[in-house]
Amino acid sequence: MKLRILESQWRPFLDELCSRTDVESAGVILAERLESDRVLLARHLSVLPDAAYAIRQRDRIRIDPVAFNRLVRPARDGGLSVLTVHTHPGAEEPWFSAADDAGDAVLMPSLFSQMTGPHGSIVVAGHTQTACARAWATNDNIVPVSLHVVGQSLKVMSSDHGRQKDGWFDRQRLALGEAGQHILRSLHVAVVGLGGTGSVTFAQLVHLGLGQITVIDGDYVEDTNISRILGATVVDADVTLKVDVAARYAKAVGLGTKVNIIKGHLGRDVAASTLTDCDAIFSCVDAHLPRAILNRVSYEAAILLFDMGSAFRAHNEVVTEGSGRVVAVGPGRPCLACWGHIDANRIRIESLSQNERVQLAADGYIDGADIPQPSVVAFNTLVSGAAVVEFLRAVTKFAGADDAPLRLGFDFKTGTVRRNRLSGSNQCRICSNNLVPLEREV
């Protein structure tokens, strides 16, 4: 199970919680259960006031029941999960003591008698401010919980400290570190769209050793895809789904990545809630409707999103313009709408039925909606490679997490790349607040 927390909320909460080093301190996190019930999303973080403690010592606390009930009342009213948090002052590593076990044995049944679970508890090591967590999925079923702190980077705190013993990634470890390689193995990412950029992105993630990848695409391989989709062969044209090509590729590589196949198109056949279990999403779509859905779910569920694309203009078989982009999206960053990469009119057109689109095109109301665009595997590889590098920056911090680019713009004709930023105040209703209410259906 995962508990996902915004860094903008977690950091001040942790600083206040650990401000006292002479006694234990406690707090409460109220969390929303996302669609899969395997992910909790922190909504409210509260540090207990001094008056809430019946007993407060360096190695023992007892909370006044009236004060505790006041703090968890919004969970009863809003159907949220409750996670208690307390510190071990001066500790280097977090752990659950026998006293913690005894306290949770009394508290958890009480919480389940009042509201649906899961509920859980968190211990914070006061000296290092690292944490470990566990949850009761039912009244008597305890499961470990990894804490995912989402901001400019993704920090994962987990009780799983195992390390791989194989030599598959020895050269990668030299660049990303042992901890960096370990976190890649623990992550679940999604690749939406398996065309030119999507297939190359997927292949890179497989070779990096990602633990789990969900792929979403509803199209079959076409003749024109063979030159751009890694793993596709001429015999796949018109008979093999792109998601099946991806699964076959990962199996042939043999590095143990689990691939989840979803056959369909996001927003039409596949609900956005399918993605809430993922730690990061790669947007490799060429339509505005699925891009808008991914943009919103990134903020609704606090998921890192890496959107990419390339565009060309050619005249007499000569490229006159060629550009590409990678945009890092998510809590604390401007969204794709702010960057101008979502067009409301295109979404309207894409939402029409096929018959409606044909009729509007015949009447001259749709210009160029279905005209094939130029695409070259080398350009796709450049863009997708940059997106994966920004993903690695966020999750492994191989170059630090400070001053990460928000958007990279490529000019293929001049061979240049620029870091882009937005100026001015952000009043966007999607990303001006770090977290927006989750919409269950799209």
Tell me whether residue 208 is in a domain.
Answer: yes
Whether 153 and 183 map to the same domain: the answer is no
Please classify residue 91 by burial: count the beta carbons closer than 10 Å to its beta carbon, then call 0-12 exposed, 13-18 middle and 19+ buried.
Answer: middle
Q: What is d(CA 311, CA 283) in angstroms, rounded to the nearest whole number?
A: 15
pLDDT in tens, 136-169: 988 788 999 999 999 989 999 987 655 555 789 9
The residue range of the domain holding 124 is 2-157
Count helices and strands (H / E) in the chain. 11, 18
Whether 245 and 366 map to the same domain: the answer is yes
**What residue has token string 């007993």?**
55
Query: Quick one: pLDDT band at residue 360, thresholds 50, 70, 90?
Result: low
Whether 150 and 235 map to the same domain: the answer is no
What is the token pair recorded at 112? 């389940």
Whether 127 and 276 map to the same domain: the answer is no
Tell me whether residue 242 is in a domain.
Answer: yes
Mark residue 254 as left, alpha or beta (left: phi above 0; alpha: psi -120 to 50; beta: remaining). Answer: left
Tell me whether residue 433 is in a domain.
Answer: no
Tell me whether residue 352 is in a domain.
Answer: yes
CATH of residue 249: 3.40.50.720
Whether 408 and 263 map to the same domain: the answer is yes
3-state secondary structure at position 344: helix
pLDDT in tens, 406-434: 999 999 888 899 999 887 556 788 887 65
Total count of domains within the chain:
2
Q: What is d(CA 181, CA 172) in angstroms, rounded to the nearest whole number?
A: 7
- Our CA angle for 64, 67, 71, nearest 5°, is 135
Contact in structure between 187 and 280 (CB atoms under 8 Å)? yes
Residue at which a domain ends, from 157, 182, 203: 157
pLDDT in tens, 72-91: 999 999 999 999 999 999 99
Whether 382 and 292 map to the same domain: the answer is yes
Q: For the chain, state the CA radius of gyration.
A: 24
Of the listed ranges 122-126, 313-317, 367-371, the one predicted with least confidence: 367-371
Q: What is d(CA 156, CA 4) in angstroms, rounded to the nearest whole number?
A: 9
Single-letter code of the amino acid located at 227: S
> Among candidates 157, 147, 127, 242, which has minimal Cα distance to 192?
242
Residue at which a domain ends, from 157, 181, 198: 157
Contact in structure between 169 and 178 (CB atoms under 8 Å)? no
Whether 359 and 249 map to the same domain: the answer is yes
Contact in structure between 201 and 214 (CB atoms under 8 Å)? no
Task: Indicate if the pLDDT at residue 366 is higher than 50.
Answer: no
Contact in structure between 310 and 377 (CB atoms under 8 Å)? no
**Distances in whole angstroms, Cα of residue 168 to Cα of each of 172, 182, 183, 204:** 9, 13, 15, 14
Whether 18 and 100 map to the same domain: the answer is yes
Residue at which a domain ends, from 157, 190, 223: 157
pLDDT in tens, 236-246: 999 999 999 99
Q: Output the CA torsion sign for 34, 40, 43, 48.
A: positive
